[in-house]
Amino acid sequence: MPQNTTLSTLLASGKDLVLDGALATELEAHGCDLEDALWSAKVLLEQPHLIKQVHRDYFDAGASVAITASYQATPQGFARRGLSVEESLELVALSVRLADEARREHVADNPDAGPLLVAGSVGPYGAYLADGSEYRGDYTLSAAEFQDFHRSRIAALVEAGADFLACETLPSLAEAEALLALVAEFDVESWFTFTLRDSGHISDGTPLAQVAALLGAEPRVAAVGVNCVPLELVTDALGTLQSSSDKPLVAYPNSGETYDAVTKTWGPSEGIQGESTLAGNAALWRARGAHLIGGCCRTTPRDIEELAANMTPREPA
């Protein structure tokens, strides 16, 4: 059994957790230029204090989980800047320390704050490619190649004290299988969240039901779900996962806008029916098994504050 089972213990008790929102959006609001292949990981090099500030802002808004700034932080990516493997992994560890410092500061000012967790972000290989392929899943690596890519970052996150791993924005079944092997290798709890082709398939075309079956067999996976997806796909996707898995579900979609991975710009969505906010959909998503809800791209501390206000405790079963 993993040494740290805080996440699964909280979920088993029926606890619902509010996640944080977009990191990059807030860093840009603080003046950071993220037009870079490293994206938010660039700020670990240049202005790490801003990352801690954003984590603190989300805790202050009501989030119980901070996701580290390691989504695009890999030795392979940092090598383009001339950093050694050791220097790169120190930056990965720094991402955990910054989130933990923000947590400690929040608890010092709010002694009655509930359990607060730090999730070590493990972004997909497609994030390193920085070409939008985390929304297509059209890259091909062997299981060994995937594991070689992810292993050192996972080791750094675990050694730095992340409470669990957020294996997130995954577009392919093959990469998920490789990450499952690493979760077992490091004996660490995790959640797995995927990008979507539509409400029934992840980006590489694998049915969500098949993904749910794969993850359902791994006790170290505490939750499964979707992230960085259009808001309007979440409800049906959760319904599919709920009917295919006994795992608690997790959802942190983008704002109600649509992302163009080619132009890297955002525009209005024409597909939303009903509420276009996280808070407005929280009750529906919880009814479909979501116990962890937050925001991804373009969401803000204000969105998380509104969401937290809507996350009243569930009635006892």
Per residue in 123-164, pLDDT (tens digit) is 999 999 988 899 999 999 999 999 999 999 999 999 999 999
Token pair in block for residue 131:
């070409």
How many whole angstroms separate alpha carbon 54 and alpha carbon 70?
14
Residue 257 has pLDDT above 70, yes or no: no
Token pair in block for residue 306:
């509104």
The fold of 6-310 is: TIM Barrel (3.20.20)
| pLDDT value at residue 31 | 86
- In terms of average pLDDT, the best of 33-47, 138-152, 261-275 is 138-152
268 confidence band (pLDDT: 50, 70, 90): low
How many whole angstroms separate alpha carbon 94 and alpha carbon 239?
37
How many whole angstroms separate alpha carbon 146 and alpha carbon 53?
32
The residue extents of the domains of the chain are 6-310
Average pLDDT over residues 50-58: 97
Half-sphere exposure of 316 (CA within 13 A, CB side): 0
| pLDDT value at residue 256 | 65
Residue from 189, 221, 6 nearest 115 by CA = 6
| pLDDT value at residue 275 | 60
Q: What is the pLDDT of residues 157-200, one digit of tens each?
A: 999 999 999 999 999 999 999 999 999 999 999 999 999 999 99
How many whole angstroms separate alpha carbon 82 and alpha carbon 171?
29
34 confidence band (pLDDT: 50, 70, 90): confident
How many whole angstroms separate alpha carbon 95 and alpha carbon 73?
9
User: Do 38 and 123 contact (CB within 8 A), yes or no?
Assistant: no
What share of the chain has pLDDT > 90, as a percent? Answer: 79
| pLDDT value at residue 41 | 78
| pLDDT value at residue 314 | 74
274 confidence band (pLDDT: 50, 70, 90): low
Q: What is the pLDDT of residues 112-124, one digit of tens each?
A: 998 999 999 999 9
Average pLDDT over residues 6-22: 96
User: Interior CA angle at 31 toward 68 and 92, to 5°?
Assistant: 25
Q: What is the pLDDT of residues 203-217, one digit of tens each?
A: 999 999 999 999 999
Average pLDDT, the chain: 92
User: Interior CA angle at 157 toward 152 and 162, to 5°?
Assistant: 160
Average pLDDT over residues 18-23: 96
| pLDDT value at residue 316 | 60
Residue 307 has pLDDT above 80, yes or no: yes
CA distances from 194 to 136, 137, 246, 280, 299 (A): 11, 10, 17, 22, 18
User: Do 228 and 253 contact (CB within 8 A), yes or no?
Assistant: yes
Strand partners, 230: none
What's the burial of 33, exposed, middle or buried (CB within 10 Å: 0-12/13-18/19+)?
exposed
How many whole angstroms separate alpha carbon 260 and alpha carbon 239?
26
Residue 288 has pLDDT above 90, yes or no: yes
The residues, any chain, with a CB within 8 Å of residue 151's CB and separated by 6 or more, are 182, 185
Token pair in block for residue 45:
């090099």
| pLDDT value at residue 159 | 98
270 confidence band (pLDDT: 50, 70, 90): low
How many whole angstroms separate alpha carbon 155 and alpha carbon 185?
10
42 confidence band (pLDDT: 50, 70, 90): confident
How many whole angstroms separate alpha carbon 154 and alpha carbon 253?
24
| pLDDT value at residue 3 | 81
This prediction's pTM: 0.93
Match 């009917």 to its residue by tokens. Answer: 243
